[in-house]
Amino acid sequence: MEPDRKPRRTSDRGVPGNSWRTLDISPARFQSRGTIVVVTVMVLAVVLLLRLLQIQVFSTDTLASSAAEQRARPVTLYAGRGDIVDRDGRDLAYTMKASMIVAHPAELPTYMEDRYRLSPRTPENPDGALPPDQQLEEIITELPKMLQGDSSAVQATDLRKALTSDERYTRLVLNVDPDVAEKITTRFPELSADPQDIRQYPNGAVAANIVGKYGWVGDGVEGGQYGLELSQDARLQGRNGSYLADFGDGAVIPGTRRDEHPAVDGDSFQLTIDIDAQAYVQQQVQQAKDRSGAENASAVVLDAKTGEVIAMATSDTINPMGDLEEQVTEGKEFTNRVVESAFEPGSVAKVMTAAAAIEEGKTTPDEVLQVPGSIDMSGVTVKDAWDHGVVPYTTTGVFGKSSNVGTLMLAQRVGEEKFADYIQKFGIGQATDLGLPAETAGYVPDLSQWSGGTFANLPIGQGMSMSLLQMTSIYQAIANDGVRVTPSLIRQVTTADGTELPAEQREETRVVSPATARSVVDMFRAVNQSDPTGVQQGTAPSAGIEGYQTAGKTGTAQQIDPETKAYSNSNYWITYAGIAPADDPRFVVGIMLDNPRRSSDGSGGQSAAPLFHDIGSWMLDHYNVPLSATAAPRLILEAQ
């Protein structure tokens, strides 16, 4: 007998509860699975066809718009920076167009790899790319050669360091001619050329303390760094524009430029400065600083009638076209001490006491005062700079000889409240708003804060501080028939469309009457008077200018000792302010020497008077001012 045949079974061993099942290998089973596959393929085909229909028919506009958005980029239209010129239209600062070569180091390897893969260099494609490492070496080797002296030297080590860094953006070379920059970026598409404005200062250090400098201020941004370039930056720089365009292969696709907003160039400034006068005064100030041994020196020249600044010079002015770091190590400075530094003026400020006393009718120029060697005021004893007994000085002589005691005698007649009022009228303690940055207002204690010794100091120029510009403005008021005109530096502003905007009207303040102003100017001629016997000689005969009447005042103010916090007996501010000509004022000159060891001309003593003589003489000659019709009359300083 044949053994029983049983169907084979497969077992799911190890799975609890499973029983033996029969494996179905019938033709019907295979036919069912084939049907499922066919149906699945058909469904997928229908889905793909529907998606294709949606893309090609229904979503065409949307996708085209999306693609356009990916190609579209905003492009900046850079505004031109305004020029700065002197009173005669001569350039002080202007802009030249240039380019800078830049790179994106972090993205550079990927870009070079893609470029090499898409367009390798071959005999048939000589402009193609080399492998990334070789391409980098070619850039480092050839870029300096292509500049051909067009820009500052580029060191291969610097290029390698810059191009292999992880920076997203770096400037490789500045101040490149745009044509040269185009050749470089055509040969090396890995690099880019960004527009750059090169600010030019044709006069170098001359007037740099006024004009300032434009350059990098951080984070890839350019702007004013100091001077007018900083304070007037918003108006000088204008407003950038922009447009939108589509790009393909790194270039604008023709006909895609749209949404354009034109750039608006910055305003141009005409200053009151005379660049010839500025150059001369700046040279003289530097020489005075060097010859006197002063820590620094400054001078300013104002138009006696208008208050316009004709020259404003400080020693050791930095050259914006030179190496700034190197110059700083050599002691050059960015500051404009004429408006930024405050100091105690000393006796040069006695002109305010003189004006107040004459205006209030408390004295006359010829009154004889019996002036002792010292005076007590509210427990404070003040002496003159030289020992003497009672001397019969005229009021003119009190100021011609610079007697502290005689000045305080007259101040007592004026009184504290009236004197405080005159200080305010002369503009002390108030910034002049000249248009430059960091201008100091100086310091004058409020009348309510005056102590017993305050009134023993202020009338002789101690106990308050002022800028050199403020000090000189006092004398401008006296020279201008008693009217102080707030000093001005900006004469006119011209917009990009040529519209001329006159400078703001400067404030005018009637300080004293014309008669008082004339009397004070005449009295202060005594300061420059010489006398062989010395009796009728003023404190600064060396300030006198041949052929012209002049008036002025010397000043010596003690500085504060940083260790003792008291007035020093060895360190001084030496000042001078003068009017030329005195009989028909045209110019007012203010001078300050910081702790000099000799006179401004290098001679003995500590005086700024010789510098006034030189600056005043040059100004009168430069502007063809006629000689005084008559010589100054002999003034009586000490009654006989």
Q: Which helix (H) or strand (E) holds 580?
A: strand 567-580
305, 623 contact by CB (below 8 A):
no
Backbone torsions φ then ψ of 134, nearest 5 degrees: -70, -35
What burial letters (b/e) apply to 247-286, b meaning 16+ CB within 10 Å? eeeeeeeeeeeeeeeebbbbbbbbbbbbbbbbbbbbebbb
Instruction: Using the Cα atoms of residue 432, residue 433, residue 436 and residue 439 in order, give the sign of their dihedral.
Output: positive
DSSP category for residue 542: G
SS (H, E, C) 437-503: CCCCCCECCCHHHCCCCHHHCHHHCCCCEECHHHHHHHHHHHHCCCEEECCECEEEEECCCCCEEEC
Cα Rg for the chain, rounded, in angstroms? 41
How far is the CA of 456 from the CAs of 179, 357, 402, 403, 444, in angstroms? 70, 16, 15, 13, 14
8 Å CB contact between 370 and 425? no
> Does residue 347 have an active-site annotation?
yes
Side-chain half-sphere CA neighbours of 226 within 13 A: 18
Three-state SS at 333: strand
SS3 241: strand
Determine the residue type at 92.
L
**Would you list the DSSP string of 258-308?**
EEEE--BPPPEEEES--HHHHHHHHHHHHHHHHHHT-SEEEEEEEETTT-B
Burial 447-470 (b: 16+ CB within 10 A, else e): eeebeebbbbbbbbbbbbbbbbbb
Residues with Cβ within 8 Å of residue 453, at least 6 apart in sequence: 377, 378, 379, 380, 463
Alpha-carbon gap, residue 299 to 279, rounded angstroms: 12
Measured from the Cβ of residue 565, the count of other Cβ atoms closer than 10 Å reads 7
Please give the Cα distance from 628 to 589 (Å, whole number). 18
Nearest to 249 by CA among 407, 118, 384: 118
Cβ-in-10-Å burial (0-12, 13-18, 19+) of 523 comes to buried
Which is catalytic among the residues 315, 347, 402, 519? 347
Distances (CA, A) of 570 to 235, 574, 609: 46, 12, 20
Segment (H or E) for 593: strand 587-594
Q: What Cα–Cα distance (Å) separates residue 313 from each residue in 88, 102, 273?
A: 19, 39, 11
Positions annotated as catalytic residues are 347
